[in-house]
Homo-oligomer: A and B are copies of this chain.
Amino acid sequence: MRKKNNLKICLTPDNFSNYHISDHTLVVVVDLLRATTVISTAFHYGIKEIIPVQGVDKAREYFGKENHIVAAERNAMALEGFDYGNSPFQYMNDNIKGKNLVLTTTNGTHAINIARKYKVITASFINIDAVLDFLISSSKDVLILCSGWKGVFNLEDSLFAGCLANRLLLSTYFETNCDSVLASSRLYHQSKDNMFNYLSESAHRKRLKSLNMERDTKFCLTPTIKSSIIPTLIGEKLVRA
């Protein structure tokens, strides 16, 4: 019988260094509302590679570079002067096909950066089935890293992490001794019949609501597209795998 792999969830990037994980652990970054959903969407609509950068200034260095789209979001708003923001709907067009996307967001790109010494992939409800198959077939330990909001726990990332963790444990190839897995997976069970309502009091839904982005939230929770692409960090870039 195959040895079970270990599964953990880290609820915010600031706790990441307290997880003693091995060098061959796979880190699955999630920033459900909206960075990792945007990443899945952009790949689905034909983006070639994605360069996640932490600072807005770093993103600006790509202005005018051929075949590059530059996107920036801070505090849930697209930044002025940039081609795109952090709404998945902006990426549903043929214009992005074959281009590279430079992306900086409040939390998601920070989480990717913190984990970059490990093998990093990104997940959303768009590619969750493919991510599940990939993790099961990899036979490696898994840490799901929630991006949170400015260093603080958020509900939506933990619900997604709970959903993925739950399915990994059901596969019988994983085991866990991690309280974040228990908590996230129990919260997911409470929420799964209507995640949109379950999140109605959450801080980020209120934030997006006040910004009139309910449509984005609905798409991130129940996307109308599916993708088998596993965005995988190779060097500085997320590539299709």
Chain A interface (Cβ < 8 Å from any Cβ of B): 10-12, 14-15, 17-19, 149-155, 158, 177-180, 182-183, 186-187, 190, 201-204, 206
Contacts and interface: CB of A to CB of B under 8 A. Distances in A.
Contact of A155 (B18, B182, B206): B182
A177 B206 contact: yes
- Chain B CB count within 10 A is highest, among A10, A12, A150, for A12
B180 A201 contact: no
A14 B14 contact: yes
B183 A151 contact: no
Which 3 A-B residue pairs are closest in the complex by CB-CB distance?
A: A18-B151, A155-B179, A153-B180
B179 A202 contact: yes
A153 B18 CA distance: 10
Contacts of A152: 10, 15, 18-19, 178-180
Nearest to A201: B182
Contacts of A15: 12, 14-15, 151-153
Contacts of A202: 179, 182
Nearest to A189: B190
Contact of A177 (B17, B150, B178, B203): B203
Contacts of A154: 179
Contacts of A155: 179, 182-183
A19 B148 CA distance: 13
A200 B28 CA distance: 27
A150 B179 CA distance: 13
Given A15-B152, A17-B151, A152-B179, 19 more contacts: A11-B153, A12-B15, A12-B18, A14-B15, A14-B18, A15-B151, A15-B153, A18-B152, A19-B152, A149-B179, A152-B180, A153-B183, A155-B182, A177-B203, A179-B203, A179-B204, A183-B187, A186-B187, A190-B190
A179 B11 CA distance: 12
A186 to B, nearest CB: 6
A100 to B, nearest CB: 32
Contacts of A206: 177
